[in-house]
Chain A
Amino acid sequence: DAKTTQPPSMDCAEGRAANLPCNHSTISGNEYVYWYRQIHSQGPQYIIHGLKNNETNEMASLIITEDRKSSTLILPHATLRDTAVYYCIVPPPNNAGNMLTFGGGTRLMVKP
């Protein structure tokens, strides 16, 4: 697996954009970057994924650097309900089993 590094915690003011960084400097050319989040005492929730180009959906935007060694998940207008642990994952392309390795993630606290 390509190793990912995320800050352990971040704060964000409600209504402001939350920018969550992830380093994945050992990523290979055909490995995607996935983002999940886990609200306290709930199951993880898929957010978004990408390979090279920036991606956007109804939940968030994903910005991947040109060299693909890092990415940023953007929640454009954070709400209190976005308080959660956010996981950046780079699964190996052809590993059927242990394909999602959830590490420590970033604990995002959205404050009023």
Chain B
Amino acid sequence: DGGITQSPKYLFRKEGQNVTLSCEQNLNHDAMYWYRQDPGQGLRLIYYSQIVNDFQKGDIAEGYSVSREKKESFPLTVTSAQKNPTAFYLCASSMGQFGRTQYFGPGTRLLVL
């Protein structure tokens, strides 16, 4: 069963804590993306990766970090520098460098305690 999985579905962060959101795909896609969505808003790009061991900042990368050590995995760390992390985080993947048909995971909702 091919697709994108994200875990956990809900995540709670304490002040000053780093948390890592998981994203895994078995679609053999080259490119992967992280988006943030605030209530009632559209999606904003945080980071993207077109190939293993390479990634680029999106529009709102401050306070976030990523790694791409394996083709199928693209974890996102929300660091303590991100002052307003409460949001819905979506991971996506696409074939090729300019693939615009993106397949999205179910999302992780991050809440700050």
Contacts and interface: CB of A to CB of B under 8 A. Distances in A.
Size range of the chain A interface in the assembly: 20 to 34
Contacts of B4: 43
A98 B45 contact: yes
B106 A43 contact: yes
Interface stretch (B11-19, B75-83, B94-102): B94-102
A91 to B, nearest CB: 5
B90 A87 contact: no
Interface in B34-58: 35, 41-43, 45, 48, 50, 56, 58
Given A97-B58, A98-B58, A99-B98, A46 B45 contact: no
Ranked 3 nearest A-B pairs via Cβ = A43-B104, A102-B42, A102-B43
Interface of B: 4, 35, 41-43, 45, 48, 50, 56, 58-59, 88, 90, 92, 97-98, 100-107, 109
